Structure 1
Amino acid sequence: MNLRFLIVDDHPICRTAAELIVRASYPDAHITIAGCLREALGLADHPDVILLDLLLPDSSGVATVTAVTKAFPLAKVIVITAAGADETDKLETRNVFGPIAKSAPMSTLARAIHRAIADTSQNGGSDILLLESIDERVATLTNAERKILEAMSSGHQNKQIAFAVGLSEATVKQHIKAILRKLGASNRTQAILMSLSGAPDPSDPN
């Protein structure tokens, strides 16, 4: 059964970024979008995981989380916010993860999603294996491919990458094709997000 995600955010760019992060690891997931709390609560389909902006047009703060967890008691809720720590430092309880700052790296949200989904299953085995699978795919990249993928993650185009790594643009294109094939990614964006999902989180002391 495919996982069901609900993204609740009133900012289109943030919604799109969250959807890309989900798709990078769970391409077959069913994703529903809501721009406000009322729209989210009106959904008939109950999600497995909710990515929830804490500050919505019609609700904010802990009241938002309370309303969502009451409506969807079995869902894992990942709180994403631009609010200060003083507003969100006591949010994390059972089934609620975060808060994740909107300024955090994409890998932080990706790992929060993996953590929440692993907690959803009885032993979390399949989801832990998924993260390990991404790590294993990234590990198959050559040094040159890793450098090119890092440059891609920085937003560089092929011509800039070629100059930076000292290769022809044609060779860079061949490397990118190999990167997509090895990672099982359909495009550059998915390859970048997959590499970030498997990358160590700099904020993780472990």
Structure 2
Amino acid sequence: MNQEAGLPRGLAVSASQLVNIDVPFEYIHQTLSVALVDDRKLSRDCIALTLKANFDSRIEVSSFATIEEVFALEAVSVDIVVLYIHEGCEAQVRSLLGRIKDAQFRLLVITDESAAKLSSFFRDALRGGVNGFISTSHTAAATLQSAIMFILNGGAFVPPELFLEHHPAATATYSRVDIADPLTKRQQEVFSKLKEGKPNKIIAFELGMSESTAKVHIRNIMHKLGATNRTQAVFLSRSGNGLAAP
């Protein structure tokens, strides 16, 4: 795993800021190989069905009860491991850090525990090889798909509420944002793709524009929202600060 400043490629973190860095998306025309690990069969089967429905024929999901079964695989290529930990998330993840740092797959952790509880150790987990966290209390099925795509794109996915619950002052600042200049129709189209977790290159392709034009639109969207990065812009749009058409 490429690292920069001690954190996984695609994420630079400060106490109140996330910066997502786009890299080429390599999986558009490939079948994704996902190893789904969950010791509870019902939730394992439900997530597998959800993934297959969202990714259509572009995904191959293999289910396992323990991550040890994944480590034991030989001559099998896995793009990403989705590990669902219902309880004791920190202890289980810490026990894996030494083994996953040099693994050939990326790792997304799903947990029933709150983001606030995870905030005390998430930095260690990211440095140790975890590529993302999702808390079931704040996550819809579409977010799971976006998180997987973002991680495969070279990023690290951390829910905004993980930071906001740990930094109440940041929450207060965000709530004061006033969008005086509404988004244009084109900016709304770009922002819709942005909220799906898509990188600039894919947004440009799907909307029939150049990547540099997509970047300009995203920069203007963040300026209108008063956001310093993409993650904060998406959070603001979902926190009651509406975006009216002109």
State TM-score, norm by structure 2: 0.43
Distance 1:85 1:128 in 2: 24
Gaps of 5+ in 2: 1-29, 156-197, 208-232, 238-246
What amino acid is the match of 2:31?
A: N
Is 1:8–1:36's contact at 8 Å kept on the other side of the alignment? yes
Counterpart pick for 2:151 among 107, 113, 116: 116
Partner of 1:204: 235
* Pairs within 5 Å for 1:26-41: 26-41=56-71
Gaps of 5+ in 1: 121-126, 137-201
Quickly say closer, same or farther: Cα 1:65–1:111, change in 2 above 3 A.
farther
Distance 2:56 2:104 in 1: 20
Deviation at 1:110, TM superposition (A): 1.5
Is 1:6–1:47's contact at 8 Å kept on the other side of the alignment? yes
* Pairs within 5 Å for 1:6-155: 6-23=35-52, 24-44=54-74, 45-55=76-86, 60-66=91-97, 69-70=100-101, 73-85=103-115, 88-89=118-119, 90=122, 91-93=125-127, 96-103=130-137, 104-119=139-154, 128=199, 132=203
Q: How many residues align?
A: 135
Distance 1:131 1:94 in 2: 29
Deviation at 1:39, TM superposition (A): 2.1
Deviation at 1:116, TM superposition (A): 0.9
Higher relative contact order (CA 8 A, sep 6+): 2
Q: Deviations over 1:28-81 (max 9, x none)?
A: 322211111322222222311110123589x952235426615x7121111101
Distance 1:130 1:7 in 2: 28
RMSD between aligned alpha carbons? Answer: 3.9
Quickly say closer, same or farther: Cα 1:43–1:31, change in 2 above 3 A.
same
Q: Deviations over 1:83-141 (max 9, x none)?
A: 34465321334752332012321122111011012128xxxxxx7489759x87xxxxx
State TM-score, norm by structure 1: 0.50
